[in-house]
Amino acid sequence: MKAELEKIIQADETASRLVEAARLEALRIRDGGAKKSSELLLRKRREVETAVLAEAERIMTEARAKACSIREDTDRYLERLRIRKNEHYEEHIKDLLKKVTEF
């Protein structure tokens, strides 16, 4: 009977050691998974940041090009207005003087 009890106790101790080893292995696996998950999340965040910055740069470049084009169009328009004003300035002054002197 004593031998049987010792076998039971030894089996219980072995089972306890195996359970503890399994618990430690599960913790190690969980911690490794958490670390890999954090690393993956950080890497994906960096990828998103890079993509967002690239898209923002593309949009800004396009906006600068459109602004430059608008500025050039505006400059040409203003120049045409100056030319038209200068072409007709003398004529308008004469007409205005004529109207003023008629009264």
- Secondary structure (H, E, C), the chain: CHHHHHHHHHHHHHHHHHHHHHHHHHHHHHHHHHHHHHHHHHHHHHHHHHHHHHHHHHHHHHHHHHHHHHHHHHHHHHHHHHHHHHHHHHHHHHHHHHHHHHC
What is the reported pLDDT for 86? 87
In a domain, 48, yes or no: yes
Give the C-alpha separation, 39 to 47, whole Å.
Answer: 12
In a domain, 96, yes or no: no
pLDDT for 55-98, tens place per residue? Answer: 999 999 999 999 999 999 999 999 999 998 888 888 888 888 88
pTM of the model: 0.54
In a domain, 98, yes or no: no
Domain encompassing residue 27: 1-76
Number of folded domains that form the chain: 1
pLDDT for 1-38, tens place per residue? Answer: 788 888 889 988 999 999 999 999 999 999 999 999 99
Give the C-alpha separation, 33 to 12, whole Å.
Answer: 31
